[in-house]
Amino acid sequence: MEISSYIPMLRESGLFFVSAMVELSVLFVGISFLVGVLNEFLPQEKVKRWLSGRGGRGYFIGSLLGGLTPFCSCSTIPMMVGLLRAQAGFGPTMAFLFTSPLVNPVIIGLFFTLLGVEVTIIYAFIAVFLSIGISFMLHKLGFARFIDQQMIKGSGISPAPVQPLSSLSSASSAKPIPQPVHMAGLQTVGQCCSASATGSAAGSNVSIAPFPQYRPNRWKRILDDAVGQFKKLLPFVVLGVGIGSIIHGFLPADLVTKIAGADNPLAVPVSALVGIPLYLRVSTMVPIAASLMAKGMSMGAVVALIIGGAGASLPEVAMLKGFFKTPLLLAFLGSVMFMAVSAGFLINIVHG
């Protein structure tokens, strides 16, 4: 094969890399800025009540807040420990655990930019709906008894200091000064599931921080934080876009279609299974998935791959093993697999 034949492939790869990097850079900084504004002004006591609430509304609130917190699968665990230690409801806590790594502003923005509005809506709906439904079923089936309470009470993870709802109602009647919740997990997004993140980050990176003193340059500080967060995430974005650009320019389309096309009924479950041990950040996986889809991989298989990898990574499973007994851990893995396969087949049906 002559060298000249590679020039069109290189051109396609280069154009994809540049366009994807520009889009994702603007998107991430913009969304991170909006999340920073939310964290700056959201009262601490209100968040405590939301996260510690029980009943049917607690499931929706747990899932909603999971969607607003830009944590990866490992960073959700310290918050989960904090909720359980504060005696929050088991079901709402599981809804938070399922939703947080799958649905957040950054992921939704990436989906919208690279995979389209239809796939984004279906993905978000399935992730939230199934997270709530599965969490409710686990609660009704009594899986709360499979939490290792001794590990929760004496864990080395310093959880977010979330108080139970009952303690809030008996607190002083004086109105507390509103304090914002700093989702510091976003600030360490580039270190998710690393040694520092799974150790010390558990206490310092997922915490409810004290209200910062007013500064005249508050908006500049929020913008600087957003840019800093993007810089930490940049290596993962470059990796994902780089791999995606190579796939886009060089991988034969007929090969992808044959292995993971819509005509292969095993493409969705196999992609979900591959995603769990293949831990890649969603910010890395989505650009790769967009290239695979452009080459003929079915959209359902792409979504199954993303949910499997983001929802139940090996580092997360290793951490959960310390707090979940085997039946609950297996139920968690089975639930993520069920979500991935269900979402994949539904998207193939709707989009096909």
Contact between 77 and 202 under an 8 Å Cβ cutoff? The reply is yes
Does residue 327 surpass a pLDDT of 90?
A: yes
| DSSP state string for 87-137 | T--HHHHHHHHHHTTT--HHHHHHHHHHH-HHHHHHHHHHHHHHHHHHHHH
The first and second tokens of residue 292, run together, are 């695979």
Q: What is the mean pLDDT of residues 203-213?
A: 46
With bands split at pLDDT 50, 70 and 90, how would you rate the model's confidence at 282?
Answer: low
Contact between 274 and 50 under an 8 Å Cβ cutoff? The reply is no
Q: What is the pLDDT of the chain when averaged over all its residues?
A: 71
More confident residue, 67 or 32: 67
Closest CA to 183 of 150, 149, 156, 206: 206
With bands split at pLDDT 50, 70 and 90, how would you rate the model's confidence at 213?
Answer: low
Contact between 202 and 157 under an 8 Å Cβ cutoff? The reply is yes
Of the candidate ranges 17-21, 26-30, 225-229, the one whose mean pLDDT is the lowest: 26-30
Contact between 50 and 118 under an 8 Å Cβ cutoff? The reply is no
Q: What is the mean pLDDT of residues 298-302?
A: 85
Of the candidate ranges 49-58, 123-132, 261-270, 333-342, the one whose mean pLDDT is the lowest: 49-58
Q: Where are the domains of the chain?
A: 3-163+180-209+219-351
Does residue 204 surpass a pLDDT of 70?
A: no
Contact between 180 and 41 under an 8 Å Cβ cutoff? The reply is yes
Closest CA to 305 of 129, 134, 123: 123
Rg (CA), the chain: 21
- Helices and strands (DSSP H and E) totals, the chain: 18, 0
Model pLDDT, residue 187 = 40
Q: What is the mean pLDDT of residues 71-89?
A: 67
Rounded CA separation 131/245 (Å): 33
Of 39-48, 210-219, 333-342, the range with the highest mean pLDDT is 333-342
Rounded CA separation 156/137 (Å): 29
Model pLDDT, residue 26 = 80
With bands split at pLDDT 50, 70 and 90, how would you rate the model's confidence at 197?
Answer: very low
Contact between 281 and 247 under an 8 Å Cβ cutoff? The reply is no
With bands split at pLDDT 50, 70 and 90, how would you rate the model's confidence at 27?
Answer: confident
Closest CA to 132 of 80, 196, 65: 65
Model pLDDT, residue 96 = 85
Model pLDDT, residue 1 = 54
Of 201-210, 231-240, 322-331, the range with the highest mean pLDDT is 322-331
Helices 117-140 & 90-99, crossing angle to 10 degrees?
150
Report pLDDT digits (tens) over 118-171.
888 888 888 899 999 999 999 999 998 998 877 666 554 544 444 444 443 444
Alpha carbon distances (Å) from 104 to 32, 63, 282: 11, 10, 11
